[in-house]
Structure 1
Amino acid sequence: MIHVLIVDDDKLVRKGLISYMPWESFGMKVVGEAANGERALQFLQENRVDLLMTDLAMPVMSGIELIRIVRKEYPNTAIAVLTLHQDFEYIQEALRLGAIDYIAKVELEKEHFKEVFTRIHSRIAEERQKHKDSRDYRAVETCSGDTSYALLSLQDEPLTSSLLSNFMSLGWRAEGEGSILMWLKDSHGEDFEKDSDLEELPPLPEGINNARWQLIKLRHTAGVFPSDLYQHLRAYRSSALFYDCDGRESCLIERSVSDLLMEHPEPLEQDTDSVKVMLHAYKWVHDDQTFEQLCFRIKELRLPVSKLMQLIYSFTIEWNRLFKAVQTDDVKLPDTFTSWRDAENWLRHFRDMASALSGSLQLNPEVNGSILTAVKIVHDELDCPLFAIDVAKRVNLSRSYFSQCFKEIVGFSFNEYLRKVRIDKAREYLEQTAKPIVWIAKQTGYEDEKYFSRTFREQTGMLPSEYRQRHKMR
């Protein structure tokens, strides 16, 4: 019996497919449904699924992204695409990623399901036969040595054909797309190179960038099928390897096969929220101990890389918003981190950049944190009356010392900075909305529209109405 999971954000579509299709006639059984890609992945973690039927256009996680993940983490699960409109660009992308078929929902409405389901069932049967043949073949080839090696790409990039040939000539074994290579010690006897610590190492060709590849020594591999070992390595690379590469490891990471199979539970929401609070508290920017605590906490939680990127991205957006008036360029975040050492190095580099904003005044971390808090107050309470003496009290500094430190760090006096942020926000409202000027004045902390207009002209050389008109003409 083929176990089926249906993924579609339209509940009626899911219920219709489950209720009205003759699944058993084609040797199929619907074992689950999901409204988006994330829930589908959660279901796959705990249930056997032979056929995933997924829509392409969904919130939270698109069908294309779901297919990409499933092909990597669940390679034996067949995938068929559900689509309302025959968008061939998306369909072709899905097929390129490994989907075995696509189903236009209108075909099912017209009761063409017999042809569609017969085709899918036939293709799954073919894949199962190939898998069976592969199992029969591998039965005669298991690892006889208790130690093996693997070389894993940190950037999920396959080798060039020439470099792959060099690896193969040295006895390495490539699986899948070539981003994971294995050296089975039993296939090569004891003829290894040795490093300075007398650690046996397999030969590596010239041209390998150590920053992009990680060498793994595998223990207890005797009796393991190479294809199974490859699947374990792929799962390890997609999760634990990121945090194992922390800059403190040697050129060689040593793991047992059971280590590769170890699962790390998804962090609880409250734990993720606590890290977010630490990030946005800014104390870690100037306090070494708090920074080390933050890094330790993130690594301890082993947040999925996508969630880690989201957390840091939201922080950079907030930082750029707060310091737009004083920093030359926005803080940029890379598309992704390849390892934890990359993420930690980026955070350290950010701290260096933030320290440069602090000027030449030698301040302790608490004072730096107080000024950052004051900057945040300005942005968060822009529509409220704000006075330096009150803000100084809120951040536990005297009025005079607060003024001195604020100007040294931010580059403007508190009142100058407040006025600049308010006028910059007023510009945005004038450019991007059709809100009345009196409304814009109140949203930026000016109860008197005339006083607002006069201040705006002093800062920009134009009245708000003139500024809006000029922007429209561009």
Structure 2
Amino acid sequence: MSYRVLLVDDEPVIRKGIVSSIDWKQENIDSWAEAANGKEALELIPEVNPDILITDIRMPIMDGLKLVEEVKRSYPDIKIIILSGFDDFEYAQKAIKNGVESYLLKPVGADILVKEVKLLIEKLEIEREKKAAELRNIKLIREHYQSLKRAYTIDLLSGKFSSFEDLSGQATALGMEISAGRWYAMVFSIDDFLLWSEIDTDLDQDSLRYLVLNVAEEILQKHGRAFGTMGELDQINLFVECCTRACSSDNCCMEITSYLEEIKKHVENYLNCTLTIGIGRPVNNLLTISTSWKQALSAVRQKAYMGKASIICYQNRFDSEMNVVEYPSVIERDVISQMRLCNRELMHAALTNYCDALVKNRASSLDYRQHCQRLIFMSISGLEESGIDSHDLPDELSNYTVRLHQLETAADFEQHLKQYFDELLEIIQLSKDEKYTSFVRQTIDYVKSNYSEEISLASLAQAIHITPNYLSKLFKKETGVNFVDWLNQYRVDMAKELLISHPELKGYEISEQVGFHDYKYFTYVFKKYAGKTPRDFRN
């Protein structure tokens, strides 16, 4: 195993001498970082993540003693060696009291420094092995006890117990105190749980859930009787006794909130994750706790709309809101259209409308995910219609479909879709940049921004400083059609989008919006390029 060292000294010559005079690779030190004072060192520590800190005492801005104090408070696992002048001996003694592992008097020989570093590496290896052994033991204990506890909870939730005596007898055997009072269920959901494996941490997902469960049980037991067990994936099921017989659902939420906030704060500070908590209504007997648990599940699913790190008390409307959602196909076409036009602002607005439609209908997480998958699939078809071969797309784009399964809230999905479509926009823009010369590209960009206005080849040529005749020949050569046909086709395409996405608009209003100020002529051109009249197309 290799280790990292941070060297702190205000004299560059000393730092250089220490680094260059010893073959540190041979001593299992594979990474060095340097700082000129304590303040600089503190700023480097989160980035460098050193195992060993070697520091001078007397330095400007922040001296070694202050650095030691800060490091031991914030990074207690880092081992520290102080390099001290003879006159600094009293300071070094103070540092030793603060937990410094070793101090050496300057000038220090290479062999002595190597010896001290080796001793610290031995300590680090012992501590790491001890920590690994503790984690292994925790895992073994957890697997045995939690499996029994979970089996008990499954029986409880499936209504297998026929009497309270049977229920409480098994609970006692598991070391849990159960009463005949009113109980209610809670479901804890660890936010962004499926992304946990991507975080640089010693905790695996099961260990994280186990620690959250321990924290929750410990704090809730200040409130009264409580026990919990692992649920599905990111979930932890907890069952809490009401403080009073008169406890209503509103009272339960109010009386428990302060404890839940304490749990959330503790988990966020020490485990670096957040929790969303759903709370069911109280039941008169633990035998019927499954009713409250199903309500808690329904409540925690509202995370998709209420956001992460929420405490959500069950309401009757939650169950009625999870209906099959009609797919917003009209908005989908608007998204694809704006993507093909490379209009980022209108594309983002269409994506917001798309997500708002799903939120308005309270789509379930499964519906939300499936609809987003369909939109991504349709976007590929849109790219191919723009002349881009889907086989030429970067492999990284497929990650967007995979990541859909890791998203939890409506806000997550909307942000994800916007990032994905921004990537497609860049691909389309690059394709266009490579396809056309500057003159033709400027012409096309101008038309797309001003197609509702009067446009002539002569005015365009004047704007880009070439002759109309040259622009006409160049445009046809690169696009394959003459300018007037291209302009009419583009305006007809825009009219098609408006006919579909805005059924409230009259034909003459659409005609005006796409640059035709004579409705009869618009109808003639539309039929020529679309094969049918605007009315027939809309119908």
TM class by smaller structure:
0.3 to 0.5
Normalised by the length of structure 1, the TM-score is 0.39
TM (normalized to structure 2)? Answer: 0.35
Structure with the higher helix share, 1 or 2: 2
